[in-house]
Structure 1
Amino acid sequence: MDGTEGLDDGPYRVYHVVCQLIYLHEGPIALHEQGLAGRCNQHILTFRRNLKALLDAGKLRIIDGRLTNDRAETELQLVQDRRSTSAKGGRGSRGVRKGSGRGQGEVEQRSSGDVPDKALNSNGSVSSPLSEQQHHKSRGEESRGEKSREEKKDAAPYGARSGSLDLGEPEPPRSKPPPSDPEAELFRRGREILGDKAGGMISQLLKAKDRNVALARAAIEQASTKENPREFIGRIIRGNEPTTVVQP
C-alpha cells in the first residue's frame, strides 16, 4: 500500500490487475497488450501509457517478454517453499520433523546406529516380556470371540441363515435424502460470490431472468470470474447485460 499511494487511478488499475494475474498464474505473465487492456477496462493507448509509467517507476519489470513484479516473486517463492516442506511430511532438510523436539545429537546417534530407537522401529524382532504376554492374551481373546460367533451361527435357525424362513420384523425402508432445491442452491451460491447480505440482489436477478433458476445460476457463476461480481450482476438487473469477451 505504501508503494502505490502516489499512483494515479490509471496506473494503479494496471498494477492491481497485473499483480492479480501474476499471483493467479503463479509466475510472470505474457505481455498481451490487448487482453490486459481489456481486463483493465482501458483503451490500448491508455494502457500503454500507464504501463510505461509503472515500468519507469520500477513497479513492474519485463523479462523475456513477460511481466513480473519483485514482491510477487518473493511471495510466490515462499508458497513454493511451504509446498515443498509439506510434500516432505513437514520434515526439514536434515530429515527431522518440525516441532518434534528431537535434538540434532540424538538424530546423528540414531543415524550412526549407536543408539537403537525402539520407539521408531515398530517392526523390530526384540520385544519385552510384557508385550509378549499382551500378544498371547489378545490372540486368546480373538480365538474365543471367533468360537462364540461360530456357536451363535450354529444355534440360529436354518431359515435365518439361508433366507428361506422369515422370523423377524422386516427392516423399515431407508429414507432417501431430499433432492436439492435449485433455487436454494442459487441463493447459497449467490451469497458466496456476492456476500452474505445479497439476498435481495439475487431475488432481483432471478426476476430479471424471468424466474429461470438455471439462467440466474449461470449469471452468478459468470460473475464469480469478474473483478467486481456485484457490479456485474447489477448491470444484468438493470437490463444492461454485458457481453462475454474472450480474452487472448
Structure 2
Amino acid sequence: MDIRHSTNPADAKGYDTARLRQQYLIESVFVPGEVKLTYSHDDRLILGGAMPVKEALTLEAEDVLKTDYFLERREVAFMNIGGGEAFIDVEGERFTLVKLDTLYVGKGVRDLKIASVDADNPAKLYITSATAHAKYPTRKATVQEANTLNLGALESSNERTIHQVIHEVGIQSCQLMLGVTLFKPGSVWNTMPAHIHDRRMEAYLYFDMNDNARVFHFMGEPSETRHIVIANEQAVISPAWSVHSGAGTSSYAFVWAMAGENYTFKDMDVIPMNALK
C-alpha cells in the first residue's frame, strides 16, 4: 500500500511539478489481477482500484492498518467504472455491479471477495475507504437510484449531472461520501466556481477519457493555485485546504469521494472568481 502523508499549504506553495505529482497524483490505479491501494493521511482515506481477472481478489489489512482484517474499523465503497460486470461476495451474499453501480460495505465485514464475471472483459472497481466508528448495512445502488443534480450551463462550459450515491439522503455511512459527475457534450469544466471545505478532504478519479485527452486539475489555496495534468483512470488527492477543480481537453467523467468531520454535502465555501489567483 502506497502511503501519502499530509501537507500544509505553506509547504505546498514551493512544490515544483514533480513534487506536486509525487504528493497528490495516483498515476496507476488499475492493474490486471491486483488490488492496488493508496493510504492518504488526509482524513485517512484509502483509495485505489481492483481489476480481477481469473482469480477473485480480497482486501488485505497489511501492516499499514495494524488490524486483523481490512474492515475491522473501516467502511468501503466500490464503483464499477468500466470494463465488464463484476460481482462482490459479502459474507455469502452476492452483488453484481455493471458500469456506474456502487456497493457500500460497512464496518465489521470479514468475508469479502471481488471478481469479474468475464475474465476476458475484466471489471474495473474503484475503491474508497474511510475509518468508521459504527456499522451500517451493506447496500447497492445503481446510478439511476442516486440523488441527481443538474448544474451549470453550456455557455460556461460546465453543464453537468452530479449523481450523489453515498451521502446524507442516499446510502448511509459513518463519514464516507461518494458520487459521480457526468458532463453534457461541449462541457469540460468541473467544480467551477471553485470551493473548499475545510472540514473534509476530497479525492477525484478521472475516467472515460481517450488516450490523448488530459484534464488540467487545479489545486492549492485560492490565492496560490497550482495544476496537475491528469490522464485517463488516474486519481488525485485534494487536502481540505485546497480547491479541486479542472478542465479537460475533451469529455470525461469523475468519481468524487470525501471523508472528514462534516457529513453535509452543501458544507462548502464557494470561492469568488476574483479571489482565484
Give the TM interval when normalised to the shorter protein: under 0.3
Q: When the two structures are superposed, what TM-score results if normalisation uses the length of structure 2?
A: 0.16
Larger strand fraction of residues:
2
TM-score by length of 1: 0.18
* Larger RCO: 1 or 2 (CA < 8 Å, sep 6+): 2
Report which of the two has the higher share of helix.
1
Structure with greater Cα Rg: 1
